[in-house]
Amino acid sequence: MKFSIARFWREKQAHYRLKAAKCKSCGRVNYPPSSICRYCGSRDLEEIFLLNEKAKLLTWTIIYSVAEGFEDKRPRIIGLVETIETKARILAPITDVLPEELSEGTILEPVLRRINEDGEAGIIHYAIAYRPVIKPVGRKED
């Protein structure tokens, strides 16, 4: 599958830094970002980034039948997560966990993962995925 370089550059902020738009009228966060609030219709939005914000898992699905070239990534877990502070909802891959280890409300953090590449000399595709937050060994909870 070929990827448009123009589209890649246009969407890289939203994909790699979780760029979103926060409405100054209703306070809701629009992800992916837009110039009009999808909740109240206001055009008064500010740019924010969600990359450092943890999220909780709302729901997920497990995909066993994957596209050609992704056989080694089977099964794929795709989840709907909600960021804890801003309440933005994001559909993203869930990584670094077995499907049976997931539960509703699991706290996740965003990570950058290599997805594939466009041939030997093509663009290497990365994407944000979410993984469970792991407490370092020997640390007490806050």
pLDDT for the residue numbered 37 = 97
- Cα pseudo-dihedral 65, 68, 72, 74, rounded to 10: -20
Q: How far is CA 118 from CA 70, 71, 122, in A?
A: 13, 16, 4
CB-count exposure of residue 87 (10 Å: 0-12, 13-18, 19+): exposed
pLDDT for the residue numbered 110 = 94
Domain ranges of the chain: 5-132
Over residues 58-74, the pLDDT tens digits come to 999 999 998 887 787 78
Compute the distance between CA of residue 126 and CA of residue 140 in angstroms, rounded to an integer: 34
| CA angle (136 as vertex; 134, 140 as ends), nearest 5 | 110
Over residues 109-129, the pLDDT tens digits come to 999 888 777 777 777 778 899
Over residues 70-112, the pLDDT tens digits come to 787 789 999 999 999 999 999 999 999 999 999 999 999 999 8
Alpha carbon of residue 139 to chain centroid: 27
Mean pLDDT of the chain: 85
Please list, in sequence order, all residues whose beta carbon lies within 8 angstroms of the beta carbon of residue 21, skipping any fewer than 6 positions away.
Answer: 29, 30, 31, 33, 34, 35, 37, 45, 46, 47, 48
Whole-prediction pTM:
0.78
